[in-house]
């Protein structure tokens, strides 16, 4: 490790980039670890004190680098997206330091993800008769902003416990991000009320489809939490690297 100016530290032989937030003891100028894994997961363990100096290689730091969530190893492709969601305050996981990446996203959870991502103000105005609980004010905010009109023709139901389909997610994201429309049909398995929004999502390169050929979208499949992390990050980060 090499200490730089302004509280920055450079580590070698690590698989990723890590940031250190440290406090100095005025008596010994010793630094104790408050470690972030990729700037996300805070450790409060005190390591062995190590004296550091500007531009001097330092050895002997007692470091434990933990993942943001403990259950994302099987979804390595989406690890950075999931960490980004945590860094941005969009998700707090599903409990016990877990993210539940393979679990489907409910419409209620989708509402909270979008409200946090877009920095919308929660609303106490109740638009739907079937909404209560933790996500209520986020669902209200989503309706207030025009991102959802509900799940029935009368606009009185939201169906909060239903799983979000990929088709529905396209419409949520297109409205939320105000994506431009397109007349191009990209996928062979898409029709119905969400077709235009699915095409707009592809036009904006937030999705490349659900098969390697890029010809299918799988509109009726449920969206899992890992995939939602990638969709949100692609939509909100201009320099996001697109992958299938």
What local confidence, expressed as pLDDT, does residue 9 receive? Answer: 53
| Position 210 confidence tier, pLDDT thresholds 50, 70, 90 | very high
Local structure of residue 71 (DSSP, 8 states): T
Q: Which pLDDT tens digit goes with each residue over 82-118?
A: 888 888 889 989 988 899 999 999 999 999 999 999 9
Q: What is the maximum span of the chain, computed from C-alpha positions, in angstroms? A: 70
CA separation for the pair 141, 114 (Å, rounded): 10
What local confidence, expressed as pLDDT, does residue 83 receive? Answer: 84
Proportion of the chain above pLDDT 90, given as a percent: 57
Instruction: Indicate yes or no: pTM above 0.85.
Output: no
Across 57-61, 62-66, 216-220, least confident range: 62-66
What local confidence, expressed as pLDDT, does residue 67 receive? Answer: 58
């Amino acid at each position: 490790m090499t200490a730089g100016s302004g509280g920055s530290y450079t580590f070698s032989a690590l698989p990723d980039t890590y940031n250190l937030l440290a406090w100095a003891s005025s008596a010994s100028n010793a630094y104790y670890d408050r470690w972030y894994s990729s700037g996300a997961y805070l450790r409060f363990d005190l390591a062995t004190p190590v004296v550091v100096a500007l531009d001097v290689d330092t050895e002997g730091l007692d470091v434990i680098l933990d993942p943001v969530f403990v259950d994302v190893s099987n979804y390595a492709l989406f690890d950075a997206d999931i960490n980004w969601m945590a860094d941005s305050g969009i998700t707090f996981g599903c409990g016990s330091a877990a993210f539940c990446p393979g679990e489907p996203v409910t419409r209620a959870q989708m509402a909270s993800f979008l409200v946090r991502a877009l920095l919308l103000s929660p609303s106490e105005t109740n638009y739907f008769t079937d909404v209560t609980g933790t996500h209520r004010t986020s669902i209200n905010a989503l309706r207030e902003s025009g991102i959802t009109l509900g799940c029935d023709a009368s606009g009185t139901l939201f169906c909060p416990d239903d799983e979000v389909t990929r088709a529905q997610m396209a419409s949520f994201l297109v409205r939320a991000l105000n994506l431009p429309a397109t007349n191009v049909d990209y996928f062979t398995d898409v029709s119905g009320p969400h077709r235009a929004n699915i095409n707009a999502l592809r036009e904006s390169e937030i999705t490349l489809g659900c098969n390697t050929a890029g010809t299918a979208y799988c509109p009726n499949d449920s969206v899992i939490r890992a995939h939602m992390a990638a969709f949100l990050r692609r939509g909100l980060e201009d320099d996001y690297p697109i992958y299938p």
